[in-house]
Amino acid sequence: MENGDQVKPDAKPQNVDGPVNDQAGVDYDPILPPELEQRIFQMAFRDDENMKNPFRLLFVAKRVFEWLIPLLYEVVVRHPSKRWPPVGISFNLPKYGKYVRHVLLETIEAEGMEYLTHCRNINDLAIISLPDRFKPDQLDALTTLPLQRICIDIRVIPESPLTSALFAKITHLDIACFTDWESLSPNIISQFTSLTHLMMLGDDSMSSKINSITKHLPKLKLFLVISYTYQGNIVERPWKNESSDPRVVTLSCSFVQHWMAAAQGFENPWSFGEDILAKRQQSGGKSEERELILTE
C-alpha cells in the first residue's frame, strides 16, 4: 500500500458518507483468500480495543470498508451516558438502517421514532422511557419489528392482538430497569410463550415468589435476579435464602455497559448466567462465586 492510501493512527473521525469513502477507495491486491481475509478483519473489528476506535480498520481498503460498515452500524445507542456509533460518525438512516440489529434508546419520541421507522431489522431493543399512551404509529413501529430481545417496561404497552404476537416471539426479556415481581400480572407474563431468558430486579424477599412467575413460562432456562451497580463488574451474589429453582442466578451488574457487551458479542450477564448454570450441572450444585470486570 502506498503511503497516500493509509490513514494515520491519530486521524480524526470523519463523515462515513464522504471522506472515508474517498480514502478507502484504493484497494491493494489481496494475499489471503477473500473469505478468510474478511473473517480476520471482522474479528479484529469486534476486538474490545478496536471497538474504542473503529476508524483505523475502515481506512485499510475499499473492500475492508464494505465488510465492516455493517458491523459499525449493527449496534446503535442513544443514551445520555453513551452514544454508539461514536460522535463524529454520520448516520444516514435510510442508507445504513438496514444493518442495525441492536438499539438502545432513551425514548421512543422524536429521534427514537426515526430509528424504529428506518431500522426494520432490529431484533434487540431497549427503550428507557415509554409514553403513557402510545400513538398508533409508535405501536405499529414497535410491534412489526422482528424482535427477539427486549428491555422495556411491558406494563405500559397497550394490550392488543399485535402486542400479544410481539410478546410471543420474545426469547430474552429484561425488565430489571422498570418492573419488580409485584408488578407482573399472570396475564402479561403468560403471553411470553417463547421466553427462555428473564432478567428482573430483586432481592432476598423475592426468593419465595419465584414459582409464581416461572409457572407461566414453560420454556424458561435462565432467570437472572439482579441488583444494579455503577461499577463495571458482574458479580454473582448468592441469596441468604436460596431459591430451590436451579434456573435462578443472582447478580449485580451495570445497565448500559452490560447491554452494550451483549449487543457487541462480549461476555455479559446473560452469558455469565449461562456459564454459572453449566457449572452447576457439572458440579451437581451451586457454583463458586464469580466476578467479571467489564472495561469501557
Alpha helices in 8-79, H assignment, sequence order: 19-23, 34-46, 55-58, 62-72
Question: In this predicted structure, what is the pLDDT of residue 11?
Answer: 38
Number of folded domains in the chain?
2
Please say which residue of 47, 71, 95 terminates a domain. 71
Highest mean pLDDT among 84-88, 151-155, 227-231: 151-155
C-alpha to C-alpha distance for 119 and 1, rounded to whole angstroms: 36
Element holding 139 (H helix, E strand): helix 136-143
pLDDT band at 8 (very low <50, low <70, confident <90, very high): very low
Question: In this predicted structure, what is the pLDDT of residue 217?
Answer: 94
What is residue 132's DSSP assignment?
Answer: S
Summarised one tens digit per residue, pLDDT across range 233-242 is 888 887 765 6
pLDDT band at 21 (very low <50, low <70, confident <90, very high): very low
Q: Are 61 and 103 members of one domain?
A: no
Q: Are 119 and 63 members of one domain?
A: no
Q: Are 201 and 67 members of one domain?
A: no
Q: Are 42 and 80 members of one domain?
A: no
- CB 159, CB 139: distance < 8 Å: no
Q: Are 60 and 144 members of one domain?
A: no
Q: Are 48 and 104 members of one domain?
A: no
In what side-by-side order are the strands of the sheet with 124-129? 82-84, 75-79, 102-107, 124-129, 149-151, 172-174, 197-201, 222-228, 248-253, 233-236, 291-293
Question: In this predicted structure, what is the pLDDT of residue 219?
Answer: 96
Tell me the pTM.
Answer: 0.80
Question: In this predicted structure, what is the pLDDT of residue 193?
Answer: 95
Copy the grid coordinates of residue 198. 428473564
Closest listed residue to residue 217, CA positions, set 182, 245, 251: 245
Please say which residue of 56, 71, 86 terminates a domain. 71
Closest listed residue to residue 48, CA positions, set 224, 217, 264, 269: 264
Task: Report CA-CA distances (Å) from 148 to 15, 124, 196.
Answer: 32, 6, 11
Domain that holds residue 43: 1-71
